Structure 1
Amino acid sequence: MAGIVIQQNRPRIEELLAPYAAQIGDDLPGYRNHVYRTVTYAMHFLGNSAELEQLVETAFVYRDIALWTDRALAYLEPSEEIALADNAKYGWGLDPDALKGAIHWHHKITAYRGPHEEVIEACRKADWIDANKGMLHMGMSKANIEAVEAAFPNHGFHDALIRLAKDNNVGSTVGGLIKVVMGIIKW
Protein backbone atom coordinates (compact mmCIF):
# COMPACT_ATOMS: atom_id res chain seq x y z
CA MET A 1 0.00 0.00 0.00
CA ALA A 2 1.10 3.55 -0.70
CA GLY A 3 1.92 6.15 1.93
CA ILE A 4 -0.87 7.10 4.28
CA VAL A 5 -2.73 10.43 4.25
CA ILE A 6 -2.66 12.00 7.70
CA GLN A 7 -5.16 14.77 8.45
CA GLN A 8 -4.24 16.53 11.69
CA ASN A 9 -7.62 18.24 11.95
CA ARG A 10 -10.94 16.66 11.12
CA PRO A 11 -13.71 19.16 11.96
CA ARG A 12 -16.42 16.48 12.12
CA ILE A 13 -14.52 14.52 14.77
CA GLU A 14 -14.02 17.67 16.85
CA GLU A 15 -17.71 18.59 16.48
CA LEU A 16 -18.91 15.11 17.46
CA LEU A 17 -16.58 14.81 20.45
CA ALA A 18 -17.43 18.26 21.86
CA PRO A 19 -20.77 17.36 23.52
CA TYR A 20 -19.11 14.41 25.28
CA ALA A 21 -15.88 16.17 26.33
CA ALA A 22 -16.95 16.73 29.93
CA GLN A 23 -17.98 13.09 30.38
CA ILE A 24 -14.76 11.79 28.83
CA GLY A 25 -12.81 14.25 30.98
CA ASP A 26 -9.07 13.74 31.33
CA ASP A 27 -9.25 10.76 28.95
CA LEU A 28 -10.24 13.04 26.04
CA PRO A 29 -6.74 13.58 24.55
CA GLY A 30 -6.11 9.82 24.48
CA TYR A 31 -9.55 8.97 23.12
CA ARG A 32 -9.40 11.77 20.56
CA ASN A 33 -6.09 10.50 19.21
CA HIS A 34 -7.39 6.91 19.22
CA VAL A 35 -10.26 8.14 17.03
CA TYR A 36 -7.86 9.99 14.71
CA ARG A 37 -5.52 7.01 14.40
CA THR A 38 -8.28 4.56 13.60
CA VAL A 39 -10.06 6.91 11.19
CA THR A 40 -6.74 7.41 9.39
CA TYR A 41 -6.19 3.65 9.07
CA ALA A 42 -9.77 2.95 7.97
CA MET A 43 -9.78 5.74 5.40
CA HIS A 44 -6.51 4.37 4.00
CA PHE A 45 -8.10 0.93 3.61
CA LEU A 46 -11.04 2.63 1.87
CA GLY A 47 -8.85 4.56 -0.57
CA ASN A 48 -9.74 7.81 1.25
CA SER A 49 -13.29 7.60 -0.11
CA ALA A 50 -14.99 10.97 0.45
CA GLU A 51 -18.32 9.14 0.25
CA LEU A 52 -17.52 7.06 3.36
CA GLU A 53 -15.63 9.66 5.40
CA GLN A 54 -18.57 10.96 7.48
CA LEU A 55 -19.68 7.44 8.31
CA VAL A 56 -16.18 6.36 9.36
CA GLU A 57 -15.55 9.47 11.45
CA THR A 58 -18.92 9.15 13.17
CA ALA A 59 -18.56 5.43 13.86
CA PHE A 60 -15.14 5.91 15.42
CA VAL A 61 -16.21 8.81 17.62
CA TYR A 62 -19.14 6.80 18.96
CA ARG A 63 -17.83 3.23 19.03
CA ASP A 64 -16.40 3.39 22.59
CA ILE A 65 -18.38 6.37 23.92
CA ALA A 66 -20.50 4.35 26.37
CA LEU A 67 -17.35 3.57 28.37
CA TRP A 68 -17.76 7.12 29.65
CA THR A 69 -21.42 8.02 29.09
CA ASP A 70 -22.87 4.82 30.53
CA ARG A 71 -19.80 3.56 32.41
CA ALA A 72 -20.55 0.30 30.61
CA LEU A 73 -17.98 -2.45 30.17
CA ALA A 74 -20.15 -4.14 27.55
CA TYR A 75 -20.22 -0.85 25.70
CA LEU A 76 -20.94 -1.78 22.07
CA GLU A 77 -24.74 -1.80 22.19
CA PRO A 78 -25.04 1.35 24.34
CA SER A 79 -22.56 3.11 22.02
CA GLU A 80 -24.61 2.00 19.00
CA GLU A 81 -27.78 3.38 20.60
CA ILE A 82 -26.19 6.77 21.25
CA ALA A 83 -24.82 6.98 17.70
CA LEU A 84 -28.14 5.99 16.13
CA ALA A 85 -30.07 8.43 18.34
CA ASP A 86 -27.74 11.32 17.45
CA ASN A 87 -27.86 10.36 13.76
CA ALA A 88 -31.66 10.67 13.87
CA LYS A 89 -31.74 13.70 16.19
CA TYR A 90 -29.30 15.78 14.14
CA GLY A 91 -30.42 14.52 10.73
CA TRP A 92 -26.98 13.40 9.55
CA GLY A 93 -28.52 10.99 7.07
CA LEU A 94 -25.98 8.24 7.68
CA ASP A 95 -27.14 4.73 6.85
CA PRO A 96 -28.19 3.42 10.29
CA ASP A 97 -27.29 -0.19 9.44
CA ALA A 98 -23.80 0.76 8.26
CA LEU A 99 -23.24 3.00 11.30
CA LYS A 100 -24.45 0.35 13.73
CA GLY A 101 -22.43 -2.35 11.96
CA ALA A 102 -19.20 -0.33 12.01
CA ILE A 103 -19.58 0.03 15.77
CA HIS A 104 -20.94 -3.43 16.53
CA TRP A 105 -18.30 -5.40 14.61
CA HIS A 106 -15.18 -3.34 15.31
CA HIS A 107 -13.86 -5.96 17.78
CA LYS A 108 -14.66 -8.95 15.59
CA ILE A 109 -11.73 -11.36 15.59
CA THR A 110 -12.33 -12.84 12.15
CA ALA A 111 -13.05 -10.93 8.95
CA TYR A 112 -16.53 -9.46 8.69
CA ARG A 113 -18.67 -10.69 5.80
CA GLY A 114 -22.08 -9.25 5.12
CA PRO A 115 -23.90 -5.98 4.41
CA HIS A 116 -21.65 -2.89 4.29
CA GLU A 117 -18.66 -5.23 4.29
CA GLU A 118 -16.14 -2.78 2.82
CA VAL A 119 -16.58 -0.08 5.45
CA ILE A 120 -17.17 -2.43 8.40
CA GLU A 121 -14.11 -4.50 7.56
CA ALA A 122 -11.96 -1.36 7.15
CA CYS A 123 -13.12 -0.14 10.57
CA ARG A 124 -12.52 -3.56 12.15
CA LYS A 125 -8.98 -3.79 10.80
CA ALA A 126 -8.21 -0.20 11.79
CA ASP A 127 -9.30 -0.76 15.38
CA TRP A 128 -7.31 -3.98 15.69
CA ILE A 129 -4.16 -2.18 14.52
CA ASP A 130 -4.60 0.46 17.19
CA ALA A 131 -5.82 -1.87 19.94
CA ASN A 132 -2.58 -3.84 19.81
CA LYS A 133 -0.39 -0.78 19.15
CA GLY A 134 0.54 -1.94 15.66
CA MET A 135 1.78 -5.42 16.55
CA LEU A 136 -0.84 -6.84 14.18
CA HIS A 137 -0.59 -4.87 10.95
CA MET A 138 -3.78 -6.13 9.27
CA GLY A 139 -2.19 -5.37 5.88
CA MET A 140 -0.98 -1.90 6.87
CA SER A 141 2.71 -1.15 6.41
CA LYS A 142 4.85 -0.66 9.49
CA ALA A 143 5.96 2.73 8.11
CA ASN A 144 2.33 3.88 7.87
CA ILE A 145 1.60 2.75 11.43
CA GLU A 146 4.69 4.54 12.73
CA ALA A 147 3.70 7.73 10.90
CA VAL A 148 0.17 7.65 12.31
CA GLU A 149 1.37 6.91 15.85
CA ALA A 150 3.85 9.80 15.62
CA ALA A 151 1.12 12.17 14.41
CA PHE A 152 -1.36 11.12 17.09
CA PRO A 153 0.41 10.09 20.31
CA ASN A 154 -1.29 7.62 22.63
CA HIS A 155 -1.69 10.02 25.59
CA GLY A 156 -2.37 7.07 27.90
CA PHE A 157 -5.38 5.75 26.00
CA HIS A 158 -4.63 2.06 26.56
CA ASP A 159 -3.89 2.71 30.26
CA ALA A 160 -7.24 4.52 30.52
CA LEU A 161 -9.00 1.42 29.19
CA ILE A 162 -7.46 -0.70 31.93
CA ARG A 163 -8.38 1.91 34.55
CA LEU A 164 -11.97 2.09 33.26
CA ALA A 165 -12.23 -1.70 33.39
CA LYS A 166 -11.27 -1.55 37.06
CA ASP A 167 -13.32 1.53 37.98
CA ASN A 168 -16.46 0.36 36.18
CA ASN A 169 -16.19 -3.08 37.80
CA VAL A 170 -16.04 -1.83 41.38
CA GLY A 171 -12.33 -2.18 41.90
CA SER A 172 -11.38 -5.41 40.14
CA THR A 173 -9.15 -4.94 37.11
CA VAL A 174 -9.17 -8.66 36.25
CA GLY A 175 -12.93 -8.93 36.64
CA GLY A 176 -13.40 -5.76 34.61
CA LEU A 177 -11.16 -6.95 31.80
CA ILE A 178 -13.02 -10.27 31.67
CA LYS A 179 -16.34 -8.39 31.45
CA VAL A 180 -14.94 -6.18 28.70
CA VAL A 181 -13.73 -9.15 26.66
CA MET A 182 -16.98 -11.06 27.17
CA GLY A 183 -19.03 -8.00 26.25
CA ILE A 184 -17.23 -6.72 23.17
CA ILE A 185 -15.35 -9.48 21.37
CA LYS A 186 -17.25 -10.89 18.41
CA TRP A 187 -16.44 -14.00 16.37
Structure 2
Amino acid sequence: MDSTALRAEVGRRLAPWTTELGSDRVAYTNHVLRVLSLCDLVAPGSEPAPSDRPEFLAAAVFHDLGIWTAGTFDYLAPSEELADHWLEGNGQGESSPLVVRMIDQHHKLRSAGSADDPVEIFRRADAVDVEMGVLGRFGVSRSVYRTLTEEFPDAGFHRRLLHLGAERLRTHPLSPLPILKW
Protein backbone atom coordinates (compact mmCIF):
# COMPACT_ATOMS: atom_id res chain seq x y z
CA MET A 1 0.00 0.00 0.00
CA ASP A 2 1.48 3.38 -0.90
CA SER A 3 1.92 6.02 1.80
CA THR A 4 -1.12 8.03 0.69
CA ALA A 5 -3.41 5.01 0.89
CA LEU A 6 -1.82 3.92 4.15
CA ARG A 7 -2.31 7.39 5.65
CA ALA A 8 -5.97 7.33 4.57
CA GLU A 9 -6.55 3.88 6.09
CA VAL A 10 -4.86 4.80 9.37
CA GLY A 11 -6.91 8.01 9.49
CA ARG A 12 -10.12 6.08 8.86
CA ARG A 13 -9.36 3.64 11.65
CA LEU A 14 -8.45 6.39 14.11
CA ALA A 15 -11.47 8.57 13.24
CA PRO A 16 -13.68 7.20 16.06
CA TRP A 17 -11.14 8.48 18.60
CA THR A 18 -10.61 11.97 17.19
CA THR A 19 -11.99 13.60 20.34
CA GLU A 20 -9.86 11.48 22.68
CA LEU A 21 -6.70 12.10 20.65
CA GLY A 22 -7.42 15.82 20.49
CA SER A 23 -4.35 17.87 19.64
CA ASP A 24 -2.22 14.70 19.63
CA ARG A 25 -4.03 13.20 16.64
CA VAL A 26 -1.40 14.17 14.04
CA ALA A 27 1.44 13.17 16.36
CA TYR A 28 -0.06 9.74 17.01
CA THR A 29 -1.10 9.19 13.38
CA ASN A 30 2.45 9.94 12.24
CA HIS A 31 3.88 7.62 14.91
CA VAL A 32 1.63 4.84 13.59
CA LEU A 33 2.78 5.54 10.03
CA ARG A 34 6.44 5.60 11.04
CA VAL A 35 6.07 2.30 12.92
CA LEU A 36 4.44 0.66 9.90
CA SER A 37 7.19 1.95 7.63
CA LEU A 38 9.81 0.77 10.11
CA CYS A 39 8.23 -2.69 10.19
CA ASP A 40 8.98 -2.89 6.46
CA LEU A 41 12.54 -1.70 7.05
CA VAL A 42 13.38 -4.09 9.90
CA ALA A 43 11.90 -7.04 7.97
CA PRO A 44 13.37 -6.58 4.50
CA GLY A 45 12.18 -9.07 1.93
CA SER A 46 9.03 -10.03 3.82
CA GLU A 47 6.24 -10.87 1.42
CA PRO A 48 3.83 -9.32 1.70
CA ALA A 49 5.45 -6.33 3.37
CA PRO A 50 4.34 -5.94 7.00
CA SER A 51 2.61 -2.62 6.22
CA ASP A 52 0.40 -4.52 3.76
CA ARG A 53 -0.65 -7.10 6.34
CA PRO A 54 -3.86 -6.50 8.31
CA GLU A 55 -2.41 -7.69 11.62
CA PHE A 56 0.41 -5.12 11.46
CA LEU A 57 -2.02 -2.34 10.54
CA ALA A 58 -4.31 -3.22 13.45
CA ALA A 59 -1.44 -3.51 15.93
CA ALA A 60 0.04 -0.20 14.80
CA VAL A 61 -3.24 1.71 14.99
CA PHE A 62 -4.16 0.44 18.44
CA HIS A 63 -0.82 -0.19 20.19
CA ASP A 64 -0.69 3.08 22.17
CA LEU A 65 -4.27 4.30 21.76
CA GLY A 66 -5.20 3.38 25.34
CA ILE A 67 -3.08 6.32 26.51
CA TRP A 68 -5.81 8.62 25.23
CA THR A 69 -8.95 6.47 25.46
CA ALA A 70 -8.31 5.24 29.01
CA GLY A 71 -6.35 8.29 30.11
CA THR A 72 -3.49 6.25 31.52
CA PHE A 73 0.18 5.52 30.95
CA ASP A 74 -0.61 1.91 31.93
CA TYR A 75 -2.19 1.50 28.53
CA LEU A 76 -1.39 -1.96 27.20
CA ALA A 77 -4.60 -3.68 28.38
CA PRO A 78 -6.89 -0.84 27.20
CA SER A 79 -5.10 -0.80 23.82
CA GLU A 80 -5.43 -4.58 23.51
CA GLU A 81 -9.16 -4.38 24.31
CA LEU A 82 -9.68 -1.70 21.67
CA ALA A 83 -7.86 -3.79 19.07
CA ASP A 84 -9.75 -6.97 19.97
CA HIS A 85 -13.11 -5.18 19.83
CA TRP A 86 -12.30 -3.55 16.49
CA LEU A 87 -11.05 -6.80 14.96
CA GLU A 88 -14.13 -8.73 16.12
CA GLY A 89 -16.43 -6.00 14.81
CA ASN A 90 -14.69 -5.92 11.44
CA GLY A 91 -14.60 -9.63 10.65
CA GLN A 92 -10.93 -10.05 11.57
CA GLY A 93 -11.35 -11.79 14.92
CA GLU A 94 -9.07 -14.66 13.88
CA SER A 95 -6.09 -12.29 13.96
CA SER A 96 -6.91 -10.96 17.42
CA PRO A 97 -4.56 -13.30 19.39
CA LEU A 98 -1.56 -12.23 17.27
CA VAL A 99 -2.46 -8.52 17.33
CA VAL A 100 -3.00 -8.59 21.10
CA ARG A 101 0.40 -10.30 21.52
CA MET A 102 2.02 -7.69 19.26
CA ILE A 103 0.60 -4.91 21.43
CA ASP A 104 1.36 -6.66 24.71
CA GLN A 105 5.02 -7.29 23.81
CA HIS A 106 5.85 -4.07 21.98
CA HIS A 107 7.73 -2.60 24.95
CA LYS A 108 9.52 -5.82 25.84
CA LEU A 109 13.15 -5.10 26.65
CA ARG A 110 14.42 -8.42 25.32
CA SER A 111 13.65 -10.13 22.06
CA ALA A 112 10.07 -11.29 21.63
CA GLY A 113 11.03 -14.00 19.13
CA SER A 114 13.03 -14.58 15.99
CA ALA A 115 13.78 -11.65 13.67
CA ASP A 116 11.01 -12.77 11.30
CA ASP A 117 8.36 -13.21 14.01
CA PRO A 118 5.62 -10.55 13.60
CA VAL A 119 5.74 -9.76 17.33
CA GLU A 120 9.49 -9.14 17.16
CA ILE A 121 9.27 -7.14 13.94
CA PHE A 122 6.66 -4.88 15.54
CA ARG A 123 8.65 -4.58 18.79
CA ARG A 124 11.78 -3.57 16.89
CA ALA A 125 9.97 -1.04 14.69
CA ASP A 126 8.30 0.67 17.65
CA ALA A 127 11.61 0.72 19.56
CA VAL A 128 13.37 2.45 16.67
CA ASP A 129 10.72 5.17 16.61
CA VAL A 130 10.37 5.62 20.38
CA GLU A 131 14.15 5.86 20.67
CA MET A 132 14.23 8.14 17.59
CA GLY A 133 16.72 5.89 15.85
CA VAL A 134 19.40 6.56 18.46
CA LEU A 135 19.80 3.25 20.33
CA GLY A 136 18.85 -0.04 18.66
CA ARG A 137 18.25 0.62 14.98
CA PHE A 138 17.95 -2.98 13.75
CA GLY A 139 19.55 -2.13 10.42
CA VAL A 140 17.75 1.20 9.90
CA SER A 141 20.31 3.92 9.26
CA ARG A 142 19.98 7.33 10.86
CA SER A 143 19.59 8.93 7.44
CA VAL A 144 16.74 6.59 6.53
CA TYR A 145 15.05 7.31 9.86
CA ARG A 146 15.54 11.05 9.30
CA THR A 147 13.90 10.74 5.87
CA LEU A 148 11.00 8.88 7.47
CA THR A 149 10.50 11.67 10.02
CA GLU A 150 10.46 14.18 7.19
CA GLU A 151 7.62 12.25 5.53
CA PHE A 152 5.79 11.67 8.84
CA PRO A 153 6.89 14.45 11.22
CA ASP A 154 7.06 13.94 14.96
CA ALA A 155 4.48 16.72 15.58
CA GLY A 156 5.20 16.62 19.32
CA PHE A 157 4.83 12.86 19.80
CA HIS A 158 8.07 12.37 21.74
CA ARG A 159 7.46 15.52 23.79
CA ARG A 160 4.04 14.08 24.74
CA LEU A 161 5.66 10.77 25.77
CA LEU A 162 8.12 12.61 28.01
CA HIS A 163 5.31 14.63 29.58
CA LEU A 164 3.18 11.52 30.19
CA GLY A 165 6.17 9.62 31.59
CA ALA A 166 7.03 12.46 33.96
CA GLU A 167 3.41 12.68 35.12
CA ARG A 168 3.31 8.91 35.70
CA LEU A 169 6.55 9.11 37.71
CA ARG A 170 5.07 11.90 39.83
CA THR A 171 1.83 10.05 40.55
CA HIS A 172 3.17 6.47 40.65
CA PRO A 173 6.83 6.71 41.74
CA LEU A 174 7.05 2.96 42.43
CA SER A 175 5.62 2.04 39.02
CA PRO A 176 6.79 4.72 36.57
CA LEU A 177 6.81 2.57 33.41
CA PRO A 178 4.23 -0.22 33.81
CA ILE A 179 4.33 -0.86 30.05
CA LEU A 180 7.87 -2.26 30.09
CA LYS A 181 8.29 -6.02 30.15
CA TRP A 182 11.43 -7.97 30.73
TM-score range for the pair, normalised by the shorter chain length: 0.7 to 0.9
1:22 aligns with 2:7: no
Aligned positions of 1:62-81 closer than 5 A: 62-81=62-81
Q: Following TM superposition, by how much is the alpha carbon of 1:96 offset from its aligned partner in structure 2, in angstroms? A: 1.4
> Is 1:155 matched with 2:155?
yes
Residue 129 in 1 paired to residue 124 in 2?
Answer: no
Deviations 1:123-177 (A, max 9, x none): 101111111111021221222212111111100001112333456x5xxx54458
- With the length of structure 1 as denominator, give the TM-score of the two structures: 0.83
Q: Residues 84 and 93 of structure 2 are in contact (CA less than 8 Å); yes or no, is this contact kept in structure 1?
A: no
Q: Establish whether residue 33 from structure 1 lines up as the match of residue 34 from structure 2.
A: no
Does the 8 A contact of 1:76 with 1:104 survive in 2?
yes
Letter in 1 for 2:156: G
What SS does structure 2 have at the residue aligned with 1:95? Answer: helix
Amino acid at match of 1:89: G
The CA distance in 2 between the partners of 1:122 and 1:108, in whole Å, is 12
- Report what 1:12 is aligned to: 9
**Is the 1:43–1:56 Cα contact (8 Å) retained in structure 2?**
no
Amino acid across the alignment from 1:106 = H
1:27-106 matches, cutoff 5 A: 27-46=24-43, 47=45, 49-50=47-48, 52=50, 53-106=53-106
1:118 to partner: Cα distance: 1.4
Aligned residue identity for 2:130: A
Q: Structure 2 vs 1, CA of residues 126 and 176 (structure 1 numbering), >3 Å: closer, same or farther?
A: farther
- Specify the code of the residue in structure 1 equivalent to 2:66: A
Name the Cα RMSD after superposition: 2.5
SS at match of 2:117: helix
**Inter-CA distance 133–152: structure 2 relative to 1 (3 Å threshold):** same
Q: Distance in 2 between matches of 1:177 and 1:150?
A: 36
- 8 Å contact kept, 1:73–1:176: no
Identify unmatched segments of 5+ residues in structure 2.
none
Equivalents in 1 of 2:173, 2:145: separation in Å?
26
134 and 174 in structure 1: CA distance in 2 versus 1, 3 angstrom threshold: farther
Instruction: Verify the 8 A CA contact 2:30 2:153 in the aligned structure 1.
Output: yes
Distance 1:159 1:23 in 2: 18
Query: Amino acid of the residue matched to residue 49 of structure 1?
Result: E
CA distance change for structure 1 residues 94 and 26 in 2, over 3 Å: closer, same or farther? farther
Contact 1:6 1:40 in 2 (8 A): no
**Alpha carbons of 1:165 and 1:141: their partners in 2 closer, same or farther (altered >3 Å)?**
closer
What count of residue pairs does the alignment treat as equivalent?
177
